[in-house]
A and B are shown apart, each in its own frame.
Chain A
Amino acid sequence: MADIDIGKRYWLAKPAFQNLLDALRELGYQVVGPTIRDEAIIYGPIERVAELPIGWWDDQEGGRYRLRQAPTDAWFEFVVGPQSLKHYTFPPRQTVLEGNQQADGQWKLTAIKPESPPTAILGVRACDLAALVIQDRVFLGSQYRDESFAARRERLFLVAANCQRAAPTCFCKSMNCGPRVTQAFDMALTEGADGFVVEVGSAAGAAVAERLPLKLASQSQVTQVEQRLAALIEQMSQGSESQTSAEPDSAHHNGCRSQRQLDTAGLRDLLFGNLNHPHWDEVASRCLSCGNCTMVCPTCFCSTVEEVPLLDDSQVLRERVWASCFTSEHSYMASGVVRQTTRSRYRQWLTHKLAGWIDQFGVSGCVGCGRCITWCPVGIDITAEVAALRSPQEIDRSNGHE
């Protein structure tokens, strides 16, 4: 369809969805999207619509993730898997510098810029777009520019999908990061019964849209998807699972306990004012210090630079790898490890995420995706820990001078 307008709503019928995959490939993108691997929905190469996990639901709870057949035939009713855009913008291992020793013994150093191909990612959720915008602040927002991040990010084409369903672990609404997609997309899809409402968010998005058999969406098509989204937003605001008005069918009941919420009011000062709260000890008694939460979190950005000698000692790579504040190396100094205890590490993680981030980048570091809850082997729940830290009977009186 020619003359695509950013801001107008179009309609892509489900049988024409393959055209989107084809158009992206024809324009030179490698296309990745949600696929099922190792009993989870993760990003993988997608060529055909049939490779999408259509008809699957992910049941998520603290420490629990299970795929099961969906009771509906919707395409995007699963939520978020263990991976996020972080894998594409800030991969788990990347080379930042290469050193080569010359014949005269001197070293020649070269900064490495990534050569990732243009990549289209399909089915990105509002929380992950919010996380991307936070990463922009982390890696591009100071006087130093992370060229590797910038290069990878510039080559992404993001096809967002508005969520149809929330897992009980989801609390994007509390964090003001969802469920509606509002930012950072090239193209956004909202699923209806037999097609998608399509919004275009960038010139690159328009270039793809022009190649698709789109029609302007009709009022009833828009109303259909909007009602559903409005019901989801309502459900997430209520903090309990109300039935969606558009889908009274109990099949949409996700069968789990009520929606999580996180009360962010005054949270920064609450956390920094309660660094010796007894609840940190309570969490520490459960936490394994495994670092899973930091790996799955779409905004966690800590890294360590490793010195990797190659073959003989005349070539060396400096590789930046994901790091976790749950390890002792993280706070190692020759004089000793600063954070010796699980208590201090969990406290570092939570206070950084929900409080320190605000000082550092002007926003909370949590988008409410719920991954850290789902993928924590013991089901430690960021929303519950914050609620406990708020509890009046546990007010911290010991903070301050020894």
Chain B
Amino acid sequence: MSKSCAATRVSDHNAWLPTEFRIVARRNELADVFTLELAGPEPFRFAPGQFNMLYVPGFGEAAISISSDSDRPERFQHTIRVVGNVTRRLQKFSSGDRLFLRGPFGTGWPIDRCPSRDVVIACGGLGLAPLRPVIYYLLHRRSQFGAIHLLYGARTPRDLLYAEEFAVWQSQGIEVRVTIDRGDESWRGAIGVVTQLMKPLRWRPESTMVLTCGPEVMMRFVAQEALAQQVRPDHVFLSMERNMNCAVGWCGHCQLGPSFVCKDGPVYTYAQIEPFLYVEDL
């Protein structure tokens, strides 16, 4: 896994063979979400938006985004929600354990196209995990960008991921706005969908990039709102999710229209994905 994103050259590593990493830290994020921090013998280079296939012998693999700072490849993180067989087993892992994985895979967020532009990050639920590397990236180079907004939606106040970092990000130059579906007595913030947070922004549509990740319906609404604000379709980016078995374009499961989510995605421009985004059961 020493090679970087293996962008164009033929990989000499057997595509099925995972590499072993050490878990150096583990933390609970939410009731059913936890983060594993990993380290290997060499830095693990990746682009924000890429994912790995985590492997537990006897259980199987799961595609999980890398959620940490790509400028710190000595250690990297995965934030995982427990939903089934593999993720339930991953939850039992703790610091000091070994973990196998293959990767990194997939297209990243278009961070190299962001300089001098405004960036709107609109996400929901665990969709913040693959976007957190973008936040770190932008913050490390804060002066190169225009306004940066993080618009984040979750179901309840207790479902807000990385909430303790919001104040730090705010202080370092990101406008953080949070909304939830259902409030409780203590909630003083916004209630409603993420797109409501988009409307009041001061848009400079010709020079704004919109990055979104979350449930597919949410991403559709975010994209439509961005377009309604006159943002160019090729400046709106979505991270898609499909069943994945191989991550290298051989298993066929992740197809979305003419593309493989593992290779051609998970990050797409709205312009690329629009013909397929609204087709039922595609």
Contact = CB atoms under 8 A, between A and B. Distances in A.
B2 to A, nearest CB: 16
A142 B248 contact: yes
B58 A309 contact: yes
Interface in A293-348: 301-305, 307, 309, 313, 316, 318, 320, 323, 325, 330-335, 338-341, 343-344, 347-348
A401 interface: yes
A96 interface: yes
B250 A348 contact: no
A8 interface: no
Contact of A275 (B14, B16, B58, B282): B282
Given A101-B57, A338-B242, A360-B260, A143 B6 contact: yes
Interface string B58-83: 11110000000000000000000001
Contacts of A138: 250
Interface in B78-111: 83-84, 98, 100
A111 B58 contact: no
Contacts of A126: none
Nearest to B62: A334
A161 interface: no
A93 to B, nearest CB: 14
Interface stretch (A17-25, A208-216, A351-359, A367-375): A351-359
B18 A109 contact: yes
B16 A302 contact: no
A330 B243 contact: yes
A333 B216 CA distance: 13
B278 A402 contact: yes
Interface string B110-130: 000000000000000000000
Contact of B16 (A318, A335, A348): A318
A147 B14 contact: yes
Contacts of A142: 248-249, 263
- Describe B's contact surface by its main secondary structure: loop
A400 interface: yes
A68 interface: no
Interface in B216-249: 241-243, 245-246, 248-249
B252 A303 contact: yes
Interface string A257-278: 0000000000000001001100
B8 interface: yes
B251 A305 contact: yes
Contacts of A304: 245, 251, 253
Contacts of B83: 334
Contacts of A107: 57, 98, 100
A323 B253 contact: yes
Contacts of B60: 305, 307
Contacts of A275: 276, 279, 282
Contacts of B156: none
A330 B253 contact: yes
A272 B11 contact: no
Given A318-B16, A334-B84, A343 B253 contact: no
A334 B260 CA distance: 19
A209 B100 CA distance: 50
A330 B260 CA distance: 14
A144 B245 contact: no
B199 to A, nearest CB: 20
A143 B282 contact: no
A97 interface: yes
Contacts, number: 129
Contact of A109 (B9, B100, B259, B282): B100
A355 B17 CA distance: 32
A285 to B, nearest CB: 16
Chain A interface SS verdict (over half): mixed
B255 interface: yes
A139 interface: yes
Contacts of A320: 251
A334 B84 CA distance: 7
A105 B279 CA distance: 48
B245 A303 contact: yes
B179 to A, nearest CB: 21
Contact of B11 (A96, A144, A316, A400): A144
B200 interface: no
A323 B252 contact: yes
A99 interface: yes
A399 interface: yes
A339 B57 contact: no
A219 interface: no
Contacts of A64: none
B62 to A, nearest CB: 10
Interface of A: 96-97, 99, 101, 106-107, 109-111, 138-139, 142-147, 272, 275-276, 301-305, 307, 309, 313, 316, 318, 320, 323, 325, 330-335, 338-341, 343-344, 347-348, 352, 355-356, 358-360, 399-402
| In the complex, the 7 A-B pairs of residues with the closest C-beta atoms, listed nearest first | A302-B252, A344-B281, A359-B258, A334-B83, A111-B14, A144-B248, A111-B17
Interface of B: 6-11, 14-18, 57-61, 83-84, 98, 100, 215, 241-243, 245-246, 248-253, 255, 257-260, 263, 275-276, 278-282
12 contacts: A110-B17, A143-B6, A144-B250, A146-B15, A276-B280, A303-B245, A305-B61, A305-B251, A323-B253, A343-B281, A352-B255, A356-B259
